[in-house]
Amino acid sequence: MMNKRGIIFIFIGIIIGFSLNYTLLSKPTNLEAKIRELEETLLEREATITSLQNQINQLNSEITILNEEISKLKQQVEVEILGIYFSPKGGCEQQVIYWISRANSSIHILIYSFTSDSIGDALIEAHNRGIEIKIVFEKSQVSKYSEYFKLKAAGIEVRNDTNPKLMHHKVMIIDQIIILTGSYNWSYSAENKNNENLIIIKSKQIALIYEEEFQKIWSQSG
């Protein structure tokens, strides 16, 4: 028979073995729970990041729209008067020639009376350096003194207004940003005899409005 000491050792061994076995079995369960907890936390964080990213995208979109609106408003208020001139002999013709020489891409003109050789020559020079030039003349003012025929012979696109009434504009649009307008005709009388005015404006918004009028008349002219 086993003595008491042996029984005690066996009992202690059983308890230790049970404890070790429980510990080993419980560890995977605890780890799995911890993993699940961390995975849930990760999913929550990812959802938060996605939500924040959506908010950022929305804010960026709103910022873009606001910048576009600001740009449009700036164009409306960014109007610069480059000069106001009067005739007779107040420098109007000189200014017309100067701004023709400054053109980089396009010159669009609506003109009532155009007999100035100097302005005609300046337009031919601009045409020869590659500037797009389109001119609508008031038909009733196209005579042997008009620059119409000289400019047409030089290869410049010219048309006659077909309005049965008068096309009384005196407008030049340069590079879709500079506008020369006023009562001043491009003629000897306007430069040397008449009381006329010429204003020079820098504004994309105003140029756009004049350009729309030019295109309307140009498309209807022949």
**Catalytic: 170?**
yes
Buried b (16+ CB within 10 A) or exposed e, 171-182: bbbbbebbbbbb
168 is catalytic: yes
Spot the catalytic one: 139, 150, 168, 202: 168
The residue annotated as part of the active site, out of 139, 175, 202, 204, is 175
- Which of these is catalytic: 108, 127, 134, 170? 170
d(CA 85, CA 181): 11
Whole-number Cα distances in Å, 44 to 32, 34, 50 = 18, 15, 10
Q: What is the DSSP letter of 165?
A: S
**Maximum alpha-carbon separation in the chain:** 148
Residue 137, sorted as left (phi over 0), alpha (psi -120 to 50) or beta, turns out to be: beta
Cβ atoms 210, 136 nearer than 8 A = no
Contact 170, 181 (CB under 8 A): yes
204: β partners: none
Q: Which residues are catalytic?
A: 168, 170, 175
